[in-house]
Amino acid sequence: MSRMTIVGGGISGLAVAHRLAVSHEVTVLEAGDRLGGCLKSTTLGGHVGVGLDLGAEASLVRRPETRELAAELGLDLEFPSPHHSSQVLAAGRLQAIPKRTVMGVPGDPEVVRDLLGDAATARIAAEVLTPALADSDTSVGEFLAARLGDDLVDTLVDPLLSGVYAGRCRDLSLAATVPALLPAVAEGTSVLDLVTALLSARDDQAAASDAAPVFMSLVGGISRLIPALESAITAAGGQIRTNSPVTAVQRRDDGTWTLTTPEGEDTADTVVFATPAPVTAGLLAEAAPGPARRLRAVPYASTALVVALLDLGDGPLTGSGFLVPATADTFIKASTFASNKWPWLAERLPEGTALIRMSVGRFGDAPGTWQELDDTALRDRAFADWQEITGRTGDRIIVSQVQRWDDALPQYLPGHLGAMADLDAEIESIPGLELVGSAYAGVGIPACLARAETVAQRLSRPADHHPTETKETL
C-alpha cells in the first residue's frame, strides 16, 4: 500500500485524506493544535449555544462540491433567510446593493442610478469600448474603470470583490475573479451587452430552479465540515497528527520523501502539500526550486474578524449586513449580521440580541493600519465604526472574539491562472508530489474541494506518481 503524507489539515488537505484513506496509508501532518485552517468556529465562551464561524461562513450552492461532501458526511444544508439583503456605504449612508448585476456590473445602467447618481450612470451608459485582448488577462478594476468609469468600480465592484478576496479590484485578475466577463475583454465587445445576456440566462436558470439560494451553511457553521471529515478519515484508517509542523522536506534518490517534524522523520511515497503557497515554497526550496519560485510569487492578504453578541438597545436589526468601499477610508470593510442571515443561528439566541461579524483589513494595507493593535483596541475601533455607519449607538457588545487571519487569502493577480498552469506542468514531472489549496484554482471552499478531488483521483490511479506502485506494476 502506498504511503501518502498530506501536509496541512485545512479543508483541502482533509478532503484529499478523506478520499485516499480508504485505499492508502494516509497521514495528515498539521502544524497547529486544531484542524480546519480558515474554517474555525466559536461559541463565544459558551454564550451562544451553537458554533459561529470565525473564518469562512458560507459556500456557493451553484457549485456541487460542498453540497456533495456534506451529503456524504451526513450533514444537512442550511440556507440564508429569504429576507436577507446587503447594503453598501455610498454617499455617507447605507444603500441597497442592486440585485441585477454581475459582481456589481449592471446590464442596464438604470439599476445603479439611485446608488451612484446621474453622472456615474451616464458614464456607464456611455461605455467606452477598449481594444480586444485575446489570450491575455487584465486587472478587473482597471478594465471596468476604462469601460464604465471609476465610480462604479470604486463604489460597487471593489467592495464586492474585496468581500471575497480581501483584495483590491484594481490589483485582481479578471480571468480568475470574474471570468464571466472575459468575452468582452477578449473580443473588445460591450460589457453591458454581455452582462444583459448573462442576467437573462441567470433569470432562466432561477425560474427553472425555483430561485434557489446562492449560499449554504450548516447548523454550527460551515466549519462543521472539519470534525465530520476528521471522523471519516480516522474511521477509514487514516492518521491525523496535530502539533506536527513540517519543517523540512527531502526527496531521496529512490523517489521517496522524508518529512521532518519536531517528532522526528516520516517517510512517504507521495507528499501532498495543502499548505499556503509561501509555506509550500519554503518547504520545496531544495527539492523543487522552480515550483518554489512560482509559489513564492503568490502574494497573500491578511484580515481580522471581530464577532460580537450584541444587546440590541436600538431594537431589531434589519438586513444582513453591509460592505464599505476602500475609498470611504473606514476602519471596517464589511459586516455580516450573522443571526439575521442564518435562521439556524437566530433560533438559538436570546430575545433582544444579535450576532454580528465585522471584517478589518485588505491586501496592501499600510503597516500599522490595524495589525499592531491589540485585540481590545481592534474590537473597539471596529465597533465604533459599526455604530457610526449603522447609526445604532444604543447597541452594546455582550461578548466578543477577535480572530486574526494572517497571510490567509491568496491574491490572484493578472496572469495568475497562467502561472499556476505552468506550475502544475512543472509539478507533473516530479513523481510523488502534489499541490492542493486555495492558491491555485480558486479561493472558495468548492474550488479547494474540486482541486482536492482531482488530485485524489489522480493518486488513486495505479502506477501513477507512486514509486512503490510503479515498481510493483513493473
User: By CB under 6 A, is residue 409 in contact with ligand FAD?
Assistant: yes
Is the Cβ of residue 63 or residue 202 nearer to ligand FAD in the bound state?
63
Contacts of 368 (CB under 8 A, 6+ apart): none
Task: Pick the binder of ligand FAD from 408, 420, 423, 456 (CB under 6 A).
Answer: 408
- Per the DSSP assignment, residues forming a β-bridge with 311 are 353, 396
Select from 74-82, 338-346, 363-371, 444-452 the region that touches ligand FAD (CB under 6 A).
444-452
Task: Pick the binder of ligand FAD from 275, 336, 339, 390 (CB under 6 A).
Answer: 275
Question: Least distance to ligand FAD from the beta carbon of 201, Å?
Answer: 23
User: By CB under 6 A, is residue 221 in contact with ligand FAD?
Assistant: no
Question: What is the C-alpha separation between 272 and 4, in angstroms, rounded?
Answer: 7
Size of site (CB under 6 A) for ligand FAD: 36
Compose the 30-69 pattern: x for residues touching ligand FAD by CB under 6 A, - for all others: xxx----xxx---------------xxxxx----------
Restricting to residues 17-36, which ones interact with ligand FAD according to CB under 6 A? 29-32
Helix, strand, coil % (nearest 5) of the chain? 40, 20, 40
Task: Pick the binder of ligand FAD from 13, 159, 291, 321 (CB under 6 A).
Answer: 13
Question: Least distance to ligand FAD from the beta carbon of 174, Å?
Answer: 20
Is the Cβ of residue 173 or residue 275 nearer to ligand FAD in the bound state?
275
DSSP 108: S
User: By CB under 6 A, is residue 109 in contact with ligand FAD?
Assistant: no
**Is residue 218 a contact partner of residue 161, using CB atoms and an 8 Å limit?**
no
Question: What is the C-alpha separation between 237 and 274, in angstroms, rounded?
Answer: 20
Select from 16-24, 178-186, 307-315, 439-447 the region that touches ligand FAD (CB under 6 A).
439-447
Question: Least distance to ligand FAD from the beta carbon of 18, Å?
Answer: 12
**Is residue 149 a contact partner of residue 105, using CB atoms and an 8 Å limit?**
no
Question: What is the C-alpha separation between 295 and 292, in angstroms, rounded?
Answer: 5
Instruction: Using the structure block, give the residue that is written with the C-alpha cell 506542468.
Output: 425
Question: Least distance to ligand FAD from the beta carbon of 363, Å?
Answer: 12
DSSP 116: H
Copy the grid coordinates of residue 474: 513493473
User: By CB under 6 A, is residue 448 in contact with ligand FAD?
Assistant: yes
Q: Radius of gyration over alpha carbons of the chain, in Å?
A: 23
Task: Pick the binder of ligand FAD from 51, 104, 220, 276 (CB under 6 A).
Answer: 276
Question: What is the C-alpha separation between 212 and 232, in angstroms, rounded?
Answer: 29
Question: What is the C-alpha separation between 157 and 150, in angstroms, rounded?
Answer: 10
DSSP 190: -
Applying CB under 6 A, the residues found at the interface with ligand FAD are: 7-13, 29-32, 37-39, 55-59, 245-246, 274-276, 279, 303, 305, 405, 408-409, 437-438, 443-445, 448
